[in-house]
A and B are shown apart, each in its own frame.
Chain A
Amino acid sequence: MLKKIPALLALILFFQMASAQSLDTLFKGKEDLLVDLSKQREVNSLEFQFFLPDSILSQEWINSSDLNLQAVNGGFLTKTYDDWSKYDSLQSIFPQANSIFLLYGEPTNYEGVISYLNTLYATGDFLPASLQEQTNESLILAAVKSIYEPYDTLSTWLVFDWKLIWILVILSLFLILALGLILALVIFKARRNQREELRKAYDKDIIDPLTTILFTQSLDELKEMKPEELREVFPAQLFPKPLFKEVLIERIIGLNKKMKGEFKGKLKELYKKLDLIKITEKNLMSKKWSYVTTGLVQVNEMDLSELLPEVKKHTNSKNFHVRSSAGATLLNLSQEADLSFLKNQDYPLSDWQQMNYLRIIKYVHPTKKLMIHELFQSPNESVRIFAIKLVAFLGRFDLIEQIKILVPSAQNSEKIEILQTYLTLGAHMEAEFINANITSEDEDVQKMAIKVAGQLGDETSEKILLQLLEETSDRAKRLLILESLKELNETTFENYFDEHSSPENLQMKGQLLDPLLQNV
């Protein structure tokens, strides 16, 4: 490796020398330089002048203004020249004259000129004439000297710049979309305002005729009136308009909510006679759920029992609001309608729906035949659970036998509800079911069974609870069992602690007997 170092150094030196070609090597002497400068004609800040001794000048030359001679010690100096092409002609006139190089107006020698030209050469501002024919660097000089002109004009650039075109297209689309949206909003708002104005106007047109009819006509008179006679009371040109009918429906429904007595009957008669019931029917048949729900509300508010068959069709709708409203309307209006419409419902009953149905059943028609037992055969688990809850809520002790049919195939959630129902109704005769579930593998069912056993259990329950107590180490569950045992049989409870007086057991006993801690 060490042997190769001198060879490497020699190679590097060679390349350095080759690349470091300077003007020293291009110009062999002053003559060469002057020939090159003559070809260059002008070099920035590099000038010349001649010193002419007294002996070579005639009086004629001295008086001539061409040379603009300036007297100096021992002779004359010509004016300065920046055009090097004149050098040869002047030299030929005065062969004995001495030339002087001027750099930035100051005299310099040959080395000074070469050094200056070297600097210009390095920066690309000077290229010897001899090299201009051999190298392309003349192009660079030409480029430096020429005025910049863009290759492409602006219009061509715009047409062929695809990225710019895409950006412009996207921006334009965005702008069009934004303008479209603004326009749509303005139109929408204007229409809504116009609609609101119309509603107010229709309101005023409705108030007087409606008030007059309600107070001047009795219910019987209204029933005898022909629809045409009734329509004549309202402005004829407005009645065919859908918005007018919509406002009229709203007004009648609003009034119906706030009126009672014969006025409700009159409003219902008006609703039918003015054919508003057809709009309700159309709403019920609509494919849009919002219209159907509106129709159901209208049926419910105006007590339109003739539309109940249409309402019934919506009780198994896939839309939650529709089937909830349909169920509620059916229960609310029809004395004949029972809960059997829920039996084949495919969708689960939500807590809200259950509460709503219960409210109607409990407060609107407490004496209604509900056919709860049919719901026990429903394939829908949530419906069966609702039926079990109803037995408890309505105190239907007579349905306990029906619940028993459910037991063999009951799911865990149903078992919990059945146990809760037994507890609510105090069904002591169902101890067998309770005992079977004390050892259930499902934690929630087991806890509920233990809790219920405390109230409804028998001797078998005591034994199962004591056995479970031996097998269980879970403190919470043990506490629950002990609490049940205490409720079931106080003596068995006390006996257990006589036989099992560990500190933990005694602590649990203390908690169960402490009036402050027993509910913790």
Chain B
Amino acid sequence: MKKILIIEDDLLISSLVDFRLKKEGYITKLVVDGNEGVEAIQEFIPDLIITDVMMPFKSGIELIHYAKKEFPDIPIIVLSSLGEEEGVVLEAFHLGVSDFIPKPFNPNELALRVKRVLN
């Protein structure tokens, strides 16, 4: 069973994503900021990371930088409302993220993209 780490400071959004992914049979773990995200990557060793960009303590971009350096094989999906900011999207892709889903988003679409990335 695949493990997915969800890093999102909005509890309602992370719960929705969590609910939807569990429904697909994934094992999930939720954390609310960048620092917790880094710790969770080391302990949980996920098969996929879903992360927001704007977060307390450590931004999503910093977290991606860390994850790609320490665990380059873990794919990352960025889920952010900064979709219109070209710089952030380009930087995220430059760091090697697998997908970028802008908010507002459809959880069903997210589930499909997760499946595609993990396969």
Interface string of A448-474 (1 = CB under 8 A from B): 000000000000000000000000000
Expressed in whole angstroms, the Cα–Cα distance for A215 and B15 within the complex equals 11
**Cβ A261 vs Cβ B19 within 8 A:** no
CB distance from B3 to the nearest CB of A (A): 20
Q: A212–B16 Cα gap in the complex (Å)? A: 9
Among the stretches A251-259, A336-344, A413-421, the one at the interface with B is A251-259
Are A211 and B16 also in contact (CB < 8 A) when A203-B11, A258-B81, A261-B109 are?
A: yes
B96 near A: Cβ within 8 Å?
Answer: no
Within 8 A of B (CB), among A189-218: 203-204, 206-208, 210-212, 214-215
- Is there contact, CB below 8 Å, between B12 and A259? no
Instruction: Kindly state the separation between the CA atoms of A257 and B109 in the bound complex, as whole angstroms.
Output: 16
Residues of A near B103 (CB, < 8 A) are 257-258
- Chain A residues with Cβ under 8 A from B20's Cβ? 215
A163 at the interface (CB under 8 A from B): no
B23 within 8 A of A: yes
Q: How far is the CB of A170 from chain B (nearest CB, A)?
A: 49
B contacts with A: majority SS: helix
Contact, CB under 8 Å: B104 / A211:
no
In angstroms, Cα B103 to Cα A254, docked, is: 11
- On chain B, which size bracket covers the interface? 10 to 19
Q: How many residues on the A side are at the interface (Cβ–Cβ under 8 A)?
A: 21
Chain B proximity of A219: nearest CB distance (Å) = 13
Partner of B12, one of A207, A212, A260, A261: A207
Q: How far is the CB of A109 from chain B (nearest CB, A)?
A: 106
Question: Considering the chains assembled together, what is the distance between the CA atoms of A262 and B109 in angstroms?
Answer: 11
Task: Flag if B23 contacts A261 (CB, 8 Å).
Answer: no
Inter-chain contact A208/B81, CB cutoff 8 Å: no
Residue A263, interface by CB 8 Å: yes
Partner of A260, one of B11, B16, B19, B104: B104
- Identify 26 residue pairs between A and B in the complex whose beta-carbon atoms are under 8 Å apart, listed by A's number: A203-B11, A203-B12, A204-B11, A207-B11, A207-B12, A207-B15, A210-B12, A211-B12, A211-B19, A214-B16, A215-B16, A215-B19, A215-B23, A255-B13, A257-B103, A258-B103, A258-B104, A259-B16, A259-B104, A260-B104, A260-B106, A261-B108, A261-B109, A263-B106, A263-B107, A264-B104
Residues of A within 8 A of B (CB): 203-204, 206-208, 210-212, 214-215, 251, 254-255, 257-264
Report which B residues bind A (CB closer than 8 A).
10-13, 15-16, 19-20, 23, 81, 103-109
Beyond the given pairs A208-B15, A211-B12, 15 more chain A to chain B contacts, judged by CB atoms under 8 angstroms and listed by A's residue number, are A204-B11, A210-B12, A212-B19, A215-B20, A215-B107, A254-B10, A254-B12, A258-B103, A258-B104, A258-B105, A260-B104, A260-B105, A260-B106, A261-B108, A263-B106
